[in-house]
Amino acid sequence: MSDMNILNGKNVVLGITGSIAAYKAADLVSRLKKLGANVNVIMTENSTRLINPITLQTLSSNYVATGMFDEVKSWEIEHISLASRADVFVIAPATANVIGKIANGIADDLLTTTVMATKAPVIIAPAMNVNMFENKITQENINKLKSFGYRFIEPATGVLACGVYGKGKLADVDDILNGIIETLTVVQTKDLSGMHLIVTAGPTQEPIDPVRYITNRSSGKMGYALAERAHMRGADVLLISGPTSLNAISGVETMNIKTCDEMLQRIIDNFEWADAVIMAAAVADYRPEFVADQKIKKDDEIINLRLVRNPDILEKLGQIKGNKILIGFAAETEDLDDNARKKIIKKNLDMIVANDVTKEGAGFEVDTNIISIIDREGKITRYPLMSKMQAADVILDRIQDIMK
């Protein structure tokens, strides 16, 4: 699935309400269309005072529905037809008023009637004054809708249209798009059914003494995204994880380890079972030569810590690979492509996912990544900034291509 057609054939119903951010919906419609989606727009009466329906009609190439009793454009009852046609229902921007109505079962216009009639996942991107957003009533309405499975794209913090600084700005169009893509890909078919996949995630911790260790900044987010997406797409996943603060993924067997040696052992124990291994973990290359039995005292001004090489897990797997698929990551700060290519050959990999960890929005700790995938022939495909969930899907699609 390329980034260009990621929403091909998907029906997105977009509700626009009377927030000053309504104009941003034009960009959202245009971006959705570029990704291949069919977009049907429903506008509340208030929103038509802020942005002309003709703009959205032109961008979406579809009739824009505004009122319950508009001139009928087809034989179907509009709110029922749009509700059932939707693969995903998005309300952006969503005012406190419309959130309150939906949370309390009020359906008094085309948008609230249609959203109540839909069985599609609903994503709401609020935009309003900070006090309105923080108002207990709004928060209670949001929590109520969340508890029913409605998804929210958090508003951003900044100077609001009313001149006040605070939380309430409509989220970036990129964040709304990511939410839509994630939601749609969650409900797609189980295309990885039957695949046995080992994913590693997080850092390793190499002990110095009973209370100290060497580690790195990996949060585990990239590896957990891979495990979660693979599981959702039907694969049997074994996640071997270094220490992270992430929640376990329901349905994914997780083995927690601390050191590189423990990670290697767990992978070897399960290697025969696996069709593919993805090493997203940031494994320490070195560990202290000796681990002190007791906490090291601060008696000396300088102490020397001698480090020895850890086993290279991927290199070892490369030697016993057979017809299993091995995917490495390359976390580089310079010469990304060259270093990644060298790693493919040295470790006998099928492909490597390179991330330049010095780029903003890429690599350690963040929710997004900027990846390039390099195959065995050395061909590089570069991808734009995307969420780690989306990056996971791109990587899983490429594994599927190799398995064909």
Pick between residue 159 and residue 308 the one whose CB is nearest to ligand PMT: 308
Pick between residue 135 and residue 372 the one whose CB is nearest to ligand PMT: 372
Contact 340, 308 (CB under 8 A): no
User: Strands 325-332, 351-356: parallel, antiparallel or unpaired by DSSP?
Assistant: parallel
**Minimal distance in Å, beta carbon 391 to ligand PMT?**
8
**Minimal distance in Å, beta carbon 173 to ligand PMT?**
24
The DSSP bridge partners found for residue 276 are 197, 325
Q: Report which DSSP code applies to 289.
A: S
For residue 260, indicate whether it is catalytic. Answer: no
Q: Which stretch binds ligand PMT (CB under 6 A): 24-32, 122-130, 217-225, 269-277?
A: 217-225
Q: Report which DSSP code applies to 259.
A: S
Tell me: does residue 222 bind ligand PMT (CB under 6 A): yes
> Which residue is associated with the tokens 């249209």?
161
Number of Cβ atoms within 10 Å of the Cβ of 398: 19
User: Strands 236-241, 196-201: parallel, antiparallel or unpaired by DSSP?
Assistant: parallel
**Minimal distance in Å, beta carbon 330 to ligand PMT?**
4
Question: Which position among 11, 40, 141, 219 is part of the footprint of ligand PMT (CB under 6 A)?
Answer: 219
Pick between residue 285 and residue 397 the one whose CB is nearest to ligand PMT: 285
Tell me: does residue 383 bind ligand PMT (CB under 6 A): no
* Interface of this chain with ligand PMT, residues 351 to 380, rule: CB under 6 A: 355, 357, 363-365
Pick between residue 38 and residue 390 the one whose CB is nearest to ligand PMT: 390
Pick between residue 48 and residue 261 the one whose CB is nearest to ligand PMT: 261
Contact 189, 272 (CB under 8 A): no
Q: Which stretch binds ligand PMT (CB under 6 A): 154-162, 190-198, 276-284, 396-404?
A: 276-284
Number of Cβ atoms within 10 Å of the Cβ of 148: 10
Q: Catalytic: which of 162, 303, 308, 403?
A: 162
Q: How far is 73 from 200, CA to CA, in rounded Å? A: 53
* Interface of this chain with ligand PMT, residues 226 to 265, rule: CB under 6 A: 260
Q: Report which DSSP code applies to 169.
A: E
Beta-sheet strand order (sheet of 151-152)? 38-43, 11-16, 88-94, 122-126, 151-152
**Minimal distance in Å, beta carbon 240 to ligand PMT?**
11
* Interface of this chain with ligand PMT, residues 86 to 115, rule: CB under 6 A: none
Contact 313, 260 (CB under 8 A): yes
Q: Report which DSSP code applies to 320.
A: T
Binding site residues, ligand PMT, CB under 6 A: 202, 218-222, 260, 279-283, 285, 310, 312-314, 328-331, 343, 355, 357, 363-365
Q: Which residues are catalytic?
A: 162
